[in-house]
Amino acid sequence: MDPGGPKTTDSANKLQVENLRSRGLGPVSFELRGGECMCVSGESGAGKSLLLRALADLDPYQGRVMLDGVACASFAATEWRKRVGLLVPESAWWADRVGAHFTTVDDTLLVDVGLGPEVADWSVARLSSGERQRLALVRLLCNQPGVLLLDEPTANLDPKNVERVEALVARQQREHGTAVLWVSHDPAQVERVSSRQLRLTGGRLEGWTAS
Amino acid sequence: MNLIQLSPLDLGLAALLVLALAGISWPLGLELGNRLLVAALRTTVQLALVGLVLKALFAHVDLGWVALMSLFMLAVAGWEVMARQQRRFTGWWGYGLGTLSMFVSSFAVAILALTAIIGPEPWYTPQYAVPLLGMLLGNTMNGIALSVDRLTEGAWQQRASIEGRLMLGQDWRQAVADLRRSSVRSGMIPIVNAMAAAGVVSLPGMMTGQILAGAPPMEAVKYQILIMFLISAGSGFGTVAAVWLAARRLFDERMRLRLDRLR
């Protein structure tokens, strides 16, 4: 699998981060190109989730975050979060039925994660943790984000579904030029999905690795 | 007026009952004896002071003094709202939120009732203005305290789903809509219940007081109905205002849920 994939135009979905600081994080600077997948690793509490939250504009921060050269503050907050989509490990479900959480459902995405269109009628209480995690990814992808921030997206999944999710993300990179920032604790997965790695220690960027 | 005057001896007899209650709380291990006595003492002192203030106020009908009294009542009610919050807003908002909402709703309703409905001459006649505002503030205070507490506590507990909605690009209003509705409801239910049960389960306090003071029952009933309507309007609008303001304050200009604004 080559998740780096053929490049779309160089500027589309480019995320630039300059001197990003929030509480317990930073300064962090890096650049993520469209179609590229970079993994973020580091111990628990190293600031991986804080970094992703700041990038999704959920926490206040100092520094600059830009998408295709346009500063985050120039986007409406709702628009930014649709373009820079964050997937958290424990997805939230607020309505009783699965379908109520979607504005539009792309059925092919459901099939890609091993589910079908009938899940829209399922009750959320019945979902397994793995189904929740896969559905949360589909729900996020329905917004067609240009940048995906994935916080341990395969933590609750069996090997078959890990494969499905990895393939789905790779296809987003290839077909839509989606940029991906992927937090993973699994060295083999990091090796499989990413072309570069970012290591965080104590909220600071410790190093780059190109694999 | 066929009002029966109470002598100090009458009050003393009633006080003996409270002392007896404090007495049995010791062998029962309730550990309430001291607090009960302190509370009874506070009731006596506070009400006696209010009696003196009202006596002076009634003797010198003056808008300035009535306004001062009203603002004092508002300040205490605002404090009470803040003290009843599990997680209140930090800084000026903790106090200002409830106080401002009460000021807007209670004062507006009180002034409307005094000028357009009851119409004493002058409209700020303290005999009408002070008890009316007191009842409005007391009930609005309850509604606001309950509803804002529900909102802030709910935001704390439902952080994941509120932020989950924000992450999908929803507006802060959508993200907090369910919680905002249930908070307003919880603040308005006491007055709705009070209206529904009025006269059947209990005789409302003001009406009882007027009847004890010798007013004809139907006159007392009309006043009570008026007060119920005013209270529901005052506490309802106050609750809506407070919850709207508080919900707005939970989010910043980038529509981030800011739980750090609570403590």
Residues B168, A59: C-beta atoms closer than 8 Å:
no
The distance of B158 to chain A (nearest Cα, Å) reads: 9
Burial class (CB in 10 A: 0-12, 13-18, 19+), A8: middle
Whether residue A9 is predicted with pLDDT greater than 50 in this model: the reply is: no
| Residue from A67, A78, A137, A143 to probe the interface with B (highest B Cβ count within 10 Å) | A78
Q: Would residue A9 count as lying in a domain?
A: no
For residue A79, what is the nearest residue in chain B, using CA coordinates?
B169
Would you state the pLDDT for residue A11? Answer: 53
pLDDT at res. B2: 67
Q: pTM for the whole thing?
A: 0.88
Q: What is the mean pLDDT of residues A143-151?
A: 96
- Here the ipTM equals 0.91
Residue A190 CA to residue A209 CA, distance in Å, equals 11
Domain chopping of chain B, boundaries: 1-59, 61-261
Chain B: residue whose CA lies nearest to A142: B168
**A5 domain-assigned:** no
The rounded distance, in Å, linking the Cα atoms of B253 and A78 is 11
Q: Is residue A148 part of a domain?
A: yes
- Pairwise CB contact (< 8 Å): B167 & A139: no
Q: What is the pLDDT of residue B87?
A: 93
The mean per-residue pLDDT over the stretch A75-86 comes to 96
Beta-carbon neighbour count of residue B146 at 10 Å?
A: 21
Which domain covers residue A158, as residue numbers? 15-210
- Minimum distance, in Å, between the CA of residue A59 and any CA atom of chain B: 7
A76 within some domain: yes
Within a domain: residue A50? yes
Q: What is the pLDDT of residue A1?
A: 37
Residue A161 has pLDDT above 60, yes or no: yes
Domain count, chain A: 1
Q: Are A195 and A210 in contact (CB under 8 A)?
A: yes
CATH number at residue A127: 3.40.50.300
Q: Considering only CA atoms, which of B56, B45, B201 is closest in space to residue B126?
A: B56
Mutate to test the interface with A, among B174, B253, B254, B256 (most CBs of A within 10 A): B254
Rg (CA), chain B: 22
Would residue A8 count as lying in a domain? no
Q: Which residues of chain B have pLDDT under 70?
A: 1-2
- Per DSSP, A36 falls in state -
Question: Any residues with CB less than 8 A from the CB of A135 and at least 6 apart, and which?
Answer: A91, A98, A113, A115, A119, A127
**Which residue did the predictor score with more confidence, A198 or A3?**
A198
Mean pLDDT across A88-107: 93
For residue A82, which residues of chain B lie inside 8 Å, CB to CB?
Answer: 168-169
Q: Is residue A2 part of a domain?
A: no
pLDDT digits (tens, 9 = 90+) for B102-154: 999 999 999 999 999 999 999 999 999 999 999 999 999 999 999 999 999 99
> Are β-strands A147-151 and A179-183 bridged in parallel, bridged antiparallel, or unpaired?
parallel
Is the pLDDT at A74 greater than 70, yes or no? Answer: yes
Judge: A94–B164 Cβ closer than 8 Å, yes or no.
yes
pLDDT band at A7 (very low <50, low <70, confident <90, very high): very low
Q: Are A124 and A136 in contact (CB under 8 A)?
A: no
The band of A99, judged by pLDDT with boundaries at 50, 70 and 90, is: very high
How far off is chain A from B170, nearest CA to CA, in Å?
Answer: 6
State the average pLDDT over residues A16-30.
Answer: 91
pLDDT above 90 (res A159): yes
